[in-house]
Amino acid sequence: MSVEVIAEGKDKRVRSNFLKKIPQVYYFLVIVLAGGLILDQFFASGNILSNPTILRNILVRSVALGIVAVGQTFVMIGASIDLSVAYTISLTSVMASLIMQGDPARVPMALGIVLLVGVAVGFINGLLVTKLNVNAFIATLGTGLIIKGVLNGMFSSGSMGSVPKGFQTLGYGSIGPVPYSIILLLAVVLIGWFILSWTKFGSHLYGVGGDILIGRLSGLRTSRVLIIAHIISSLTAVLAGLFIVSRLGAGAPWVGPDGVYDLESVATTVIGGTALSGGRGGVFGTIAGVMIFGVIDTVFNQLGVDTYLKMVIRGAIIILAVASYSVRSKREAA
């Protein structure tokens, strides 16, 4: 066998291994983006690519969901789930605006309080799941409903409080062409990637999600790992709530549920390749799932498509993505 043939075989294996390392969701993202651009060219204005404002809006509108989805990725890798994020977002927006009351001097206090509340919510969720052995779906749903009851009982449905103009820079300011909100999202994604890929906690979380019994037998403190994952999830919900209130200028108890951040964060995380059974996934795949939703929203808005049809398309994409992962897993196992 010649040297050229051997070298060619090695090149093919390298390319094959490289393609396998690319999260499958990025192929879906390319397909959705290409299909959206074609539809935009033939049935709408055709300026998605030529108008940088539209591209920027896709990213900015994906910030809140992207931040929450990063936290959701942590708990789902640990074979858990967090359905309290939507109401944690609402609680954050209301508390932050009421504490700030438009006064820049009160911003540090407001940030400290809402972050502590986020830690408390995550800690309670983690305790319910690990110490009381309550199913994560039920535990976090119950926590969310408790927060909803408190918000509805104590506050009206309208906007309340206000944030200072300087704080709104987070939602509307930029460094050159790059909005601060996108920088925040990138920072959250990179920190999440670093924790999952380069820390002991990250490897322990994958181990717990893969098989919690084996994790215990290996000496892992499984309860502590899951509690920390839930705290991270709640903290990302707090960050998303702060971003949203910086855009709105005032808090409102409806911002979280109206954004459907609980279900959509789960959906984008699953589309991104994180297994519901735990032990597999990553934040880069999750962000690709978030971008798929962002592209669909923008293209359909350009086309003037009915909101309900958009929900149907989203549901179909979720099913196709999960089905393709299942087929791929069976082939790899064979």
pLDDT value, residue 44:
65
Measured in degrees and rounded to the nearest 5, phi and psi for residue 127 equal: -65, -45
Q: Which two tokens stand for residue 209?
A: 């999600």
| Helix (H), strand (E) at residue 175 | strand 174-175
106 versus 314: which is more confidently predicted? 106
The runs of H, that is alpha helices, within the chain are: 3-21, 25-43, 52-61, 63-77, 85-100, 107-130, 136-154, 169-172, 180-198, 200-210, 212-217, 222-248, 255-258, 261-271, 283-303, 307-333
As beta bridge partners, residue 179 has 174
* Structure confidence by residue, pLDDT tens digits, 35-49: 877 777 776 666 666
> pLDDT band at 328, cuts 50/70/90?
low
In the predicted model, what is the mean pLDDT of residues 70-96? 96
49 versus 119: which is more confidently predicted? 119
Measured in degrees and rounded to the nearest 5, phi and psi for residue 178 equal: -100, 115
Whose structure tokens read 């790059």?
178
Q: What is the DSSP letter of 249?
A: S
In the predicted model, what is the mean pLDDT of residues 117-135? 96
Non-local (6+) Cβ contacts of 135 within 8 A are 129
Non-local (6+) Cβ contacts of 7 within 8 A are none
Q: What is the DSSP letter of 1?
A: -
Asked whether residue 211 carries a pLDDT value surpassing 70, the answer given is yes
> How far apart are the C-alpha atoms of 171 and 180, rounded to whole Å?
7
pLDDT exceeding 70 applies to what percent of the chain? Answer: 87
Please state whether the predicted TM-score (pTM) of the whole model is above 0.85: yes
- With H, G, I as helix, E, B as strand and everything else as coil, classify residue 76: helix
Q: Tell me the CA distances in angstroms from 321 to 160, 256, 327, 328, one per residue in order.
A: 40, 26, 10, 11
pLDDT value, residue 3:
47
* Structure confidence by residue, pLDDT tens digits, 165-210: 999 999 999 998 899 999 999 999 999 999 999 999 999 999 999 8
Whose structure tokens read 């994906």?
62
64 versus 316: which is more confidently predicted? 64
Q: Tell me the CA distances in angstroms from 257 to 8, 38, 67, 260, 320, one per residue in order.
A: 55, 33, 16, 5, 26
Which long-range contacts (C-beta less than 8 Å, at least 24 apart) are formed by 31-40?
A: 32/292, 32/295, 32/296, 32/317, 33/295, 36/295, 36/296, 36/298, 36/299, 39/299, 39/303, 40/299, 40/302, 40/303
Per the CB < 8 A criterion, the answer to whether 32 and 296 are in contact is: yes
In the predicted model, what is the mean pLDDT of residues 123-151? 95
pLDDT value, residue 324:
73
pLDDT value, residue 220:
85
> pLDDT band at 6, cuts 50/70/90?
very low
Domains of the chain: 23-333 (1.10.3470)
Average pLDDT, the chain: 86
Q: Tell me the CA distances in angstroms from 213 to 44, 210, 223, one per residue in order.
A: 54, 9, 12
pLDDT value, residue 18:
47
Asked whether residue 254 carries a pLDDT value surpassing 80, the answer given is yes
Non-local (6+) Cβ contacts of 229 within 8 A are 74, 75, 77, 78, 80, 126, 205
pLDDT value, residue 137:
94
- How many Cα atoms within 13 Å fall on the side-chain side of residue 157? 2
Cα angle value 257/289/251 (rounded, 5°): 25
pLDDT value, residue 330:
67
> How far apart are the C-alpha atoms of 81 and 229, rounded to whole Å?
10
